Amino acid sequence: MCKCSYRGAVEKLIDEEFFLQLQEASRLQALVLLGDFNYPNICWKSNTASCRQSSRLLECIEDNFLSQVISTPTRGDAILHLVVTNASELVGDVKIGGSLGCSDHALVKLTLLREMGITKSIVRTLNFRKANFQLFKEVVRRTPWEMVLRDRGTEQSWQIFKDVFHRVQELSTPKCKKSGREGKRPAWLRQEMLVKLRKKRELHRQWKQGLVSWEEFRST
């Protein structure tokens, strides 16, 4: 069954948001984008697609002078994991094979090159301070959940919801380098809330010492 037949308006919205981000990222001097794009309808040998959304991805890649370097299936006969770049000379020694645990997805191994040698791995974390929560609201409001989850079991329904959630999270929540002071406290703990917590802690101390009433402390 073609995936495009049930993706619906919500996933189209998510895809279009991703295409805009991909267009912006293509302006970088060197871009290498890796991930499970989940477009089984695309034939990368002939650069053709059997549904409109898959064709939109091909158009986006071509219009922004990008290239896709994976040519071997990563799950069954489909190429789901892609490596998109605007500098193909940075990607070398691509190997497909093996799997992690019980996963039916093949492992993708490659080397990223630069003038001074192999790039170093950087741990990145979700930056909720810059998250676009409006996109989450749009998904909840527009998704026809009754139709999407009809006649599906609990496990399958949960997997569908989780896939949509993770897909929206990747698009709406940027990542940042996990280092310095920012990595020492939760990203959701904003300065405003931190001030309120400190005030509450101070009033609790004063209440213990009998300097303020219980009603004053409770009102915080």
Q: How far apart are CA 208 and CA 192, in angstroms?
A: 25
Same domain for 114 and 136, yes or no, is: no
Name, of 55-64, 107-116, 185-194, the range with top average pLDDT.
55-64
Which SS3 state, helix, strand or coil, does residue 57 take?
A: helix
pLDDT band at 4 (very low <50, low <70, confident <90, very high): very low
Same domain, 108 and 18: yes
The reply to whether the predicted model has a pTM over 0.85 is: no
Given 98, 119, 140, the domain boundary residue is 119
- Domain count within the chain: 3
For residues 22 and 33, the answer to whether their CB atoms sit within 8 Å is yes
| pLDDT bracket for residue 6 (50, 70, 90) | very low
Q: Specify whether 3 is located in the same domain as 103.
A: yes
97 and 171 assigned to the same domain: no
Domain with 211, as residue range(s), is 190-218
- My answer on whether 100 and 177 are in the same domain is no
Torsion angle in degrees (nearest 10) through CA of 81, 87, 88, 93: -80
- 86: tokens are 């605007």
Say yes or no: 111 and 128 in one domain: no
Which of 195, 216, 220, 196 has the alpha carbon at shortest distance from 207?
A: 216
User: Both 3 and 111 in a single domain?
Assistant: yes
Tell me: do 67 and 112 sit in the same domain.
Answer: yes
Give the model confidence (pLDDT) of 207-216 as tens digits. 888 888 888 8
Residues 42, 49 contacting (CB under 8 angstroms): yes
> What digits encode the pLDDT tens for the residues 30-59?
888 888 877 888 888 888 888 888 888 888
pLDDT reading at 182 higher than 60:
no
Which of 119, 143, 164 lies at the terminal end of a domain, its last residue?
119
Q: What do you get for the CA distance between the two ends of the chain, in Å?
A: 56
Same domain, 39 and 128: no
My answer on whether 115 and 7 are in the same domain is yes
200 and 146 part of one domain: no
**Measured in whole angstroms, how far is the alpha carbon of residue 18 from the centre of its chain?**
10
